[in-house]
């Protein structure tokens, strides 16, 4: 079967499914989504490297979750004949303190300016709201290259103020909420308000917020309304309903330029989370290698060299490198059946791994962040 045939058939059935879905004909919608999934899956098996394969993969997962939702809907409407009310599946996760990693600001290497900006924007207002007759920011955007601590910062921040963290991933929002998206955005903010009414601060963390703006080849129509609803809800944050509670929206993105201007404006603080400088890379190596030192003997390492060799490596890259060294050492001592303490870890162990590990930060993008920051970054500490 040709590539074009499979792609066309897949799209044809996807369209049929969406039409049925919109019309409330769930039975046919499920049937057609499944056929579309089959065509796209066959396409991926035969042409895994096609430039369109990512798109089809995304569609497959979107349709699969939609099928699941529709199947649930049908099942429960069979069960409860007289009630049409259907709880939408949550596309967000409420992470109470204790139900998430316990790291705090002090566990994150450097990022001092970002931490300071977050203290000013969120921590001090939570601790002492009466000192802010003019109010405080309600929404903060963290932007910067991937793997440099944005998600970690959001988690650490919620631990600093013991906030309830509501974790939202737009990719999930948009796929799980096909058709229901708008209603669910309302529900998200309602949940936040409810959770904050007991006095606990609530952080709605929208990770990879640019995902809200992806173009879907087959918009079901809910996406635009969902985005508008987000804007309305974010405007509401500075209104009466929220005046006595602490609800914050934190967005994180590697692609700030993909955001809509309306959205950008609603984030009152826009904070750049930079790639680690040479000095910081050195600190990151020291930080993670010191954990290895609990189990292994560490030689006299040339940390300056490691930092020099890792220009354009993200913090995540450095974590990955140290972990790879750990795997190598474990393999070696297991194979040679030696005691961990006999194998001294050397600079060379790291250099060998670095050579094989490409940096994940595209240096040309750094310029783009700088430009975007100049245009939209908020002053605060920058
Ligand atoms: N400042 C830091 N100190 C220690 N580890 C860090 C730091 N920044 C990032 N990391 C590590 O790098 C990885 C990726 O961080 P993450 O917050 O997920 O990046 P992002 O959200 O910006 O893509 C995580 O494993 C995290 O522990
Ligand atoms: Mg992240």
> What is the CA(278)–ligand 1 centre distance, in A?
16
For ligand 1, atom 23, name the residue with the nearest CA.
Answer: 147
Residue 217: what pLDDT? 44
Every domain of the chain with CATH number 3.40.50.300 lies at 92-274+366-376
**pLDDT (tens digit per residue) in 204-255:** 999 999 888 765 545 555 678 888 889 999 999 988 888 888 999 999 999 9
Residue 243: what pLDDT? 82
Sign of CA dihedral 221, 203, 231, 366: negative
> What is the CA(263)–ligand 1 centre distance, in A?
25
**pLDDT (tens digit per residue) in 54-83:** 889 999 999 999 999 888 888 776 665 444
For ligand 1, atom 9, name the residue with the nearest CA.
Answer: 149
Residue 81: what pLDDT? 47
Q: Is 172 helix (H, G, I), strand (E, B) or coil?
A: helix
Band of pLDDT at residue 177, cut at 50, 70 and 90: low
Band of pLDDT at residue 190, cut at 50, 70 and 90: very high
CATH top-level class of 92-274+366-376? alpha beta
Residue-wise burial string across 313-348, b where 16 or more C-beta atoms lie within 10 A, e elsewhere: bbbbbbebbbebbbeebeeebeeeeeeeeebebeee
Every domain of the chain with CATH number 1.10.8.60 lies at 278-356
Report the relative pairing of strands 202-206 and 344-345 from DSSP bridges.
unpaired
> What is the CA(307)–ligand 2 centre distance, in A?
23
The CATH code that applies to domain 278-356 is: 1.10.8.60
Band of pLDDT at residue 382, cut at 50, 70 and 90: very low
Mean pLDDT confidence for 326-348: 92
Mean pLDDT confidence for 317-337: 95
Topology, domain 3-79: Methane Monooxygenase Hydroxylase; Chain G, domain 1 (1.20.58)
Looking at the whole model, is its pTM more than 0.85?
no
Query: CA-to-CA distance for 377 and 257, rounded, in angstroms?
Result: 12
Every domain of the chain with CATH number 1.20.58.80 lies at 3-79
The string of DSSP codes covering 13-72 is HHHHHHHHHHTT-HHHHHHHHHHHHHHHHHHHHH-TTSTTHHHHHHHHHHHHHHHHHHHH
């Amino acid at each position: 079967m040709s590539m074009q045939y499979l792609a066309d058939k897949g799209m044809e059935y996807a369209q049929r499914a969406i039409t049925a879905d919109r019309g409330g004909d769930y039975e046919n919608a499920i049937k057609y989504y499944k056929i579309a999934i089959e065509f796209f899956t066959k396409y991926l098996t035969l042409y895994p490297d096609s430039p369109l394969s990512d798109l089809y993969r995304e569609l497959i997962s979107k349709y699969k979750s939609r099928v699941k939702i529709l199947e649930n809907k049908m099942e429960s409407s069979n069960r409860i004949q007289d009630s049409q009310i259907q709880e939408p599946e949550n596309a967000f996760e409420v992470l109470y303190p204790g139900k998430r990693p316990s790291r705090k600001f002090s566990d994150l290497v450097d990022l001092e300016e970002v931490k300071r900006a977050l203290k000013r924007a969120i921590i001090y207002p939570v601790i002492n709201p009466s000192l802010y007759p003019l109010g405080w920011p309600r929404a903060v955007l963290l932007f910067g290259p991937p793997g440099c601590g944005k998600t970690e910062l959001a988690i650490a921040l919620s631990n600093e103020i013991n906030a309830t963290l509501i974790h939202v991933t737009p990719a999930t929002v948009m796929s799980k909420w096909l058709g229901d998206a708008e209603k669910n955005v309302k529900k998200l903010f309602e949940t936040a308000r409810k959770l904050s009414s007991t006095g606990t601060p609530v952080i709605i963390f929208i990770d990879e917020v640019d995902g809200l703006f992806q173009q879907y080849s087959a918009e079901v129509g809910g996406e635009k309304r969902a985005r508008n609803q987000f804007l309305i809800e974010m405007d509401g944050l500075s209104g009466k309903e929220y005046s006595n509670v602490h609800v914050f929206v934190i967005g994180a993105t590697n692609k700030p330029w993909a955001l809509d201007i309306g959205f950008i404006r609603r984030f009152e603080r826009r904070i750049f989370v930079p790639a680690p400088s040479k000095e910081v890379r050195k600190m990151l190596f020291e930080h993670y290698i010191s954990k290895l030192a609990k189990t292994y003997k560490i030689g006299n390492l040339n940390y300056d060299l490691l930092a020099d060799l890792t220009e354009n490596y993200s913090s995540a890259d450095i974590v990955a490198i140290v972990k790879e060294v750990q795997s190598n050492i474990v393999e070696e001592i297991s194979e040679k059946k030696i005691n961990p303490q006999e194998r001294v870890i050397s600079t060379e162990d790291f250099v060998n791994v670095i050579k094989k590990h490409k940096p994940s930060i595209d240096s040309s993008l750094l310029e783009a962040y700088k430009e975007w920051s100049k245009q939209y970054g908020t002053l605060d500490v920058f």
